[in-house]
């Protein structure tokens, strides 16, 4: 039952990415082109996609976190740290740079694989290499790293 529900949720999410245009890197890059260059191609439509996602997430989290426990897990895994460290700043910065250069983020890139997009295959391969490197760096002794893990669940 759990795997069926997860598959259905993933299918709906993937269809939403395709319908909204998020799996098309040109549309994403046009959204990021704020028109600073004369003749810019800014496309505001993804702002509505993001606003819809934020609204659904806000409503969903506010309701789900009131439950005594998740439907398919023993407990909620909610971050408890409130401080800002190098990992909190560097991670989103790297994500944003990658998004701005390639026009993909992980979910839409995986969706675009279904279209046989060469750029999606390159992006997903690079993403996998990045995840392996991040795991490797996370396992280095703390004396050789700039940042230490935030909590035991991260390693």
- The residue ranking higher by pLDDT, 64 or 138, is 64
H or E segment to which residue 75 belongs: none
Mean per-residue pLDDT for 124-151? 74
**The pLDDT of residue 141 is above 80:** no
∠ CA 17-3-16, nearest 5°, is 10
- pLDDT for the residue 67: 93
Residue 122 and residue 62 in contact, taking contact as beta carbons nearer than 8 Å: no
Tokens of 108: 């839409």
CB 103 within 8 A of CB 28: yes
Residue whose token pair is 């295959």: 121
Residues 40, 34 contacting (CB under 8 angstroms)? yes
Q: What is the pLDDT of residues 51-105, one digit of tens each?
A: 998 999 999 989 998 999 988 889 998 888 888 878 788 888 988 888 888 888 8
pTM: 0.70
Mean pLDDT of the chain: 83
């Amino acid at each position: 039952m759990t795997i069926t529900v997860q598959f259905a949720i993933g299918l709906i999410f993937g269809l939403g990415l395709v319908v909204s245009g998020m799996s098309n890197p040109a549309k994403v890059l046009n959204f990021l082109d704020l028109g600073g260059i004369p003749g810019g191609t800014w496309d505001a439509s993804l702002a509505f996609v993001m606003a819809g996602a934020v609204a659904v997430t806000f409503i969903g989290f506010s309701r789900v976190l009131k439950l005594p426990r998740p439907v398919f897990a023993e407990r909620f895994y909610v971050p408890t740290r409130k401080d800002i460290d190098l990992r909190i700043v560097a991670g989103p910065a790297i994500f944003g740079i990658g998004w701005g250069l390639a026009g993909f983020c992980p979910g839409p890139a995986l969706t675009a694989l279904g279209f046989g997009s060469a750029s999606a295959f390159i992006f997903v391969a690079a993403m996998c290499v990045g995840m392996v490197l991040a795991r490797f760096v996370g396992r280095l002794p703390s004396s050789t790293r700039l940042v230490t893990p935030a909590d035991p669940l991260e390693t």
